[in-house]
Amino acid sequence: MGRKRKGVPIHGWLNINKPLGMTSSQVVGAVRRITGAEKAGHGGTLDPLASGVLPIALGEATKTVSYVMDGRKTYGFRVRWGAATTTDDREGPVVETSELRPDTAAIEALLPDFTGEIDQVPPAFSAIKVDGERAYDLARDGEEVQLASRRVKVERLSLAGQPDADCADFEVECGKGTYVRSLGRDMGRRLGCLGHIEILTRLRVGRFTLENAISLDSLEALAQSAPPNAAPQQWMGPHLLPVETALDDIPALLLSETEAHRLRHGQTVPLLRKADRARIDGLEQVGSDGIAFAMTGTTPVAIVLLEGGQLHPVRVLNL
C-alpha cells in the first residue's frame, strides 16, 4: 500500500511572484512548507533567471494545471546585444561576440518577422527530452544537442524601451511552447549583432497577473501572523483563488444535482432531451472541441467532454 501523503487538504490557486534564483520546483516546495498543503504543483516552468507570475495549484486544482500551461502568456524581457551564450541568457558563457549594435529603426522593422506563427529552435538548455533525457542534462555534460525547429505563435511583440545602445526591452504575448530565450537569440542573429536574454519577467498567465501576485516573503508573513490553529484557507484570504480560475477559457455548463452525482461517480450524463438543447448549443458555440467545465450551483464538479449527446467525465474534481 502506498504511503499516505501528509499535509492539509487545500484546494485552489496561489498566484506567486517568483523571485530570481529559485527554480519553479523550489517555489512549489516553499509554498507547501508555508501552507502545509498536502499536494501542490506549478502552472508552467520559469527558469531561475526569470521572475514573475508562477501560478501554484493546490489540491484538486492540480487537475487543471494543463489548462494554465496551454494558456496565453505575457513576458517582459531585456536583450543584451553583442554576445551569444551557450544558454541564450546571461547565465551561460559567451561563445561569440559582435561590435555591431542595432538602431531603433532596425529593431522595429524586424518585429513583424517575429510576430504570428513562426518557426523556432528551442535553446539547448531546455527541458525538452532527447532520446529520453532532458536537453539541459545533455548540454551540461558537454554533448552537442540538436533540437528540431517547432512552430509557435507570437500574438504580439513590441519594443518597450532602449536603456542604452547595448540593450533593448521588449514585451511579448505568446502561446504555449514559445521560448523567449530563443526569441532574443534569433533577433540578435537576424540583426547581425548577436544577443542574449539579460532580464526576463513573466507578466501574465491567463487570468494570473503580476499586479495581483504575492511574494513568498509576504505569504510567509501572513502565515506567521495568523491566529493559532487558523486554517490556511482563512489566513490566505483572497490570495487563495478558486479552482476554476484556471478554466476561464473553456465554457461552463450548469448541472443538476442528479447529473453532478453521476459525473462524480465516473458515469456519463445523457443530454438528449429538447430541454438540454440550449445547454448543448451554448457549449458548441464557445468550445468547438467539446470540452467544458461542469458545475452545480457554485461548486466545480468536473472537466467534461461532450460527445455523441453525452457528457463524459475527463477529470472529476473532488470538492
Cβ atoms 116, 153 nearer than 8 A: yes
Nearest Cα residue to 246 out of 33, 4, 8, 14: 14
Q: Mark residue 44 as left, alpha or beta (left: phi above 0; alpha: psi -120 to 50; beta: remaining).
A: left
Nearest Cα residue to 246 out of 291, 278, 211, 284: 291
Helix, strand counts (H, E) of the chain: 9, 19
| All three cell numbers of 230 | 487558523
What is the separation of C-alpha 259 from the centre of its chain, rounded to a whole number of angstroms?
32
Q: What CA–CA distance (Å, rounded) separates 268 from 306?
A: 10
- Selected catalytic residue, list 47, 88, 89, 186: 47
| All three cell numbers of 25 | 520546483
Active-site residue 89, yes or no? no
Cβ atoms 85, 123 nearer than 8 A: no
Q: What CA–CA distance (Å, rounded) separates 283 from 278?
A: 9
Q: What CA–CA distance (Å, rounded) separates 197 from 81?
A: 9
What are the residue numbers of the active site? 47
